[in-house]
Amino acid sequence: MRQALSDLTVHIARPVKSGEIKVTGLDEAVTPEQIAPAIAGTGGCAMSDVRAGELRRSRSGMFSAWVRCPLTAVRKLHAAKHIVVSNWISAKVEVLEVRPMRCYRCLEPGHVGRQCPSENNRSDCCFTCGQKGHKAEDQVPGLCGPWQACQS
């Protein structure tokens, strides 16, 4: 296929089952572009298969990032438990549980927005606490959760 479509700008890929990990213990000097090669090197996968998210500050002041990569790499990273991001930064790797499907329209589990049977549209509410006026991504970790009201 690659030879037949070489003159076109077509990306040919095979679906790969992937998983998510959380990389913790990073400082503010690290970027997602530095995390991806460290994951690919330790996990034994291609860098194009690694998707590193934005860095988020935790309560301790250190940063963490969610990373999606192939399951074979997730297994290797779980066994290694740490990765070396740069010459002086070693980060901890945690395997994340599979997140359940959840609708962004009504905030109920088990379906997605296209098949939403509810007449309630809560897309302008916080995904974590369900309150209007802010989004979960705008919250500082720990302020918004089911155990306490939001501080918006």
What's the pLDDT at 140? 46
Distances (CA, A) of 126 to 78, 91, 115, 152: 32, 30, 20, 10
Domain-terminating residue out of 95, 111, 134 = 95
Domain for residue 10, yes or no?
no
In the prediction, which pLDDT does 148 show? 43
Q: What is the mean pLDDT of each run of 10 residues along the chain (152 residues)?
A: 72 82 91 92 92 90 93 94 88 89 84 85 78 67 47 42
Q: Is 128 contained in some domain?
A: yes
Tell me if 1 is assigned to some domain: no
pLDDT of 139 reads: 55
* Residues 36, 89 within the same domain: yes
Provide the domain count of the chain. 2
What residue numbers bound the domain in which 66 lies? Answer: 18-95
Domain boundary among 63, 95, 127: 95
Residues 104 and 89 in one domain: no
Indicate whether 117 belongs to any domain.
yes
Distance set, CA 117 to CA 3, 68, 108, 120 (Å): 46, 30, 10, 9
Task: Verify that 109 and 53 share a domain, yes or no.
Answer: no
The predicted structure's pLDDT at residue 147: 39
The model scores a pTM over 0.75: no
Among residues 65, 95, 125, the one where a domain terminates is 95
- Cα 2 from chain centroid? 31
